[in-house]
Structure formats: structure tokens, C-alpha cells
Amino acid sequence: MSADRDADVAGTVPAMLPAVFELDATDGAARAGTATTARGTYTTPLFMPVGTRGAIKYLSADDYARIGAQIVLGNTYHLMLRPGADLVERFGGLGRFSGWDGLTLTDSGGFQVFSLDPKVDDDGVTFKSTYDGSSHRFTPEVAVDVQQRIGADIAMVLDVCAPLPSPPDVIRTALERTTAWAQRAKVAHTRSDQSLFGIVQGGISETMRRESAQQLVEIGFDGYGIGGLSVGETREEMLPALAAALEHLPADRPRYLMGVGDPASLVEAVALGVDQFDCVMQTRLGRHGTALTSTGRFQAKAARNAELDEPLDPTCSCEVCARHSRGYIRHLLQVGEPTASRLLSIHNVAWTIALMASMRAAIETGSFASMRRSVLDVWG
């Protein structure tokens, strides 16, 4: 993966390069590919760790590079309110502000805004800041403007994410507003060195998912997110809706399933043709003493680990497993040492990135079906 930011320093803007997706290998519907943005490339299947406020909790930009991250997410809602898009822009954009040389993606902030019970109309949403209670107006144009100033390599349109379950008329309204807002976002987006992704909505309705995907493709975006899933539905409900959307998305653009990161859902979605994912689960579990391993979730604080001089996962090659024992990490958790959260978060993100690399290798060798079964045997 490469990301050239010298053009910003020189004050020049590189020519527009949409996030074109080139297939390197396929195995069934599963895809191994290379996506190109204006500032660099990334390979898929890809897991993108989440740095909501400009940092992955307990990790630094040096950590991102060591664990193999290619893209790190930031959250438009939070960065708009603190420290503000203007300040991030003055520092040269989110990558430079955070010291990260890789690629960045900002979600639109819509998911966070709609979790605040905002006032919604066809033009946009009005909400109160979780920081100081101040009132703010968010529209598709505002979301684009903020993300252009934040300067992420990939920006997302503002969408309407309805909770699940919701009545069909609520899902229908969310779909229609999402399409209308996507069209407005496309018009408002002018930054030639930033890719813009649309977002498919439609709840768990296969019909509405197809409709949303077709409408967004007609507008035309550099890539396509699939949003509004993993918000209360079962995996059995999620996968048919996901498949219905993917059926109508172009093969030469990245496909991004938003907010999904559990191993079973990752491998099932890759089997359907999804390319990239993000989730906060990895670091959230780490902060609460849980590790992801090849045998399932591991509760590091359990008393049985007190004298175990072995890594969290003997099959894992991350720096935490190479250096630290279960007994040591359990001790840190017992005494409330924050280093435990840091070590477990590093491990969980690195483990997930390695899982995606293993999926890519399996696709390339035609053995993805076997790998999928092995993952589901543990996590399904």
C-alpha cells in the first residue's frame, strides 16, 4: 500500500482517480483485489480499524503501521465538533494531523447523528452535540464540505440509517432520503483527490436493497458502502439483504460493508463478494479484557490464566503474542493497568488484519471454501 501526500505540501492537486477495483483473483464470488485511490492503493479483503476521534483507542500511528493497517477510519461527526474541520485542515488533513502516512476514510457521521434522536426532514438533520449540547444542522452538502476539509482519502455520503427492526414505511423513507441525499452529495463534492462512496440502505428487505443499489449506481460513485446492517438483525437476516445489494453493484468498484467485524460475518460477507470492512469491536473487546483467537474469544482475566506462560494465541504472529504471556496480561488486568487494554487492542486488530490476509491467500489458491468452513466451525 502506498499513499503519496507530497502533492498537498506543494499546493498541487493530483488528477482525479476514482477508487477503481482491479480483480487479482476470485474464488466463487469471493474477491481478492487492488483498489486505487488518488493517493495510493490498498489490497482486499481489507479490515479497517476505527480511529473515531483521530486515533484508535490506546494505539498510535506507529502501531497502525506495525500491525499492517492500510486504511484507518475517522468519524466526521466527532471530528467536526472536536477539534473542528478547520483545524484539521490547517494541519494538512487527517493523515498529517494524526501522524499516519497510510490512507484514511471518514464516515459521514450519519450513524452517530441518527443515534441522537435528531429532528429529520428532507433537507437534513438537526441535532445537539454530545459534548456541550449546542445545536447543529447537518445536510448532505455540510457532510461533504466537512469531509473535504478533513481531507480523508475516501469520504462517505450522508445517509439515513433506520434502526432494525423498523416498519417498512420507515425503511422506505430512509431509502428515498438516502438516494436524494446521495445525489446532492455527488453534486457538492468537488475535491479531485478524494474518492466519494455512496451508501446502500434498505433494511433487511431484499427488494429495497436491490432498489437502493440500482439507484446509487445510476448516480455513480467511486465505491459503494452497504450501511444499515449489523444494527439489530441476525446474521441470517443480514446475509440475504447483503447479497441482494451486491448483485447490483459494479464489479470494478470497491464494496464496503460498514460496521461489521465479527469473524463469522467477515468470512460470510467476503464469500458474497464484499471487499472491505470496519468495526470498533476489536478495540472494544480489548478494553474489556477479551482477545480474538483461532479458538474463539479468550477471556484474559480468568483466574486459570494466572500462571500460563503462553501467548494469547499460539498461531498469531503479532508483537503481543511474540512477547507477552497470558499470565502477564491477566496480571495487568487484575491491577487495572491500562497497558492491558493497549496490548489486547493491538492483538485484536492485528489478528483481524491477519485473518483478512489469510482470506486473500485462500482466494488466490482456490481454497476459500475450506477456510470459510474452518472459520465458521469456531465462530459460526
User: Strand 40-44 to strand 30-37: parallel, antiparallel, or no bridges (unpaired)?
Assistant: antiparallel
275 is catalytic: no
Sign of CA dihedral 169, 117, 236, 196: positive
- Is 107 in the active site? yes
Q: What Å distances lie between residue 269 and 30, 105, 253, 260, CA to CA?
A: 8, 20, 16, 9
Please state, in angstroms and rounded to a whole number, the distance separating the CA atoms of residues 274 and 190.
Answer: 27
* Active-site residue (options: 107, 153, 159, 193): 107
Q: Are 374 and 380 in contact (CB under 8 A)?
A: no
Burial class (CB in 10 A: 0-12, 13-18, 19+), 11: exposed
Question: Which is catalytic among the residues 159, 222, 262, 278?
Answer: 278
The strands making up 255-257's β-sheet, listed across from edge to edge, are 46-49, 276-279, 255-257, 223-226, 195-200, 154-156, 103-107, 71-75
- Phi and psi angles of residue 362, each rounded to the nearest 5 degrees, phi first: -65, -40
Answer yes or no: are the C-beta atoms of 23 and 31 closer than 8 Å: yes
d(CA 142, CA 156): 12
The number of CA neighbours under 13 Å toward the Cβ of 86 is 0
Catalytic positions, written as ranges: 107, 278
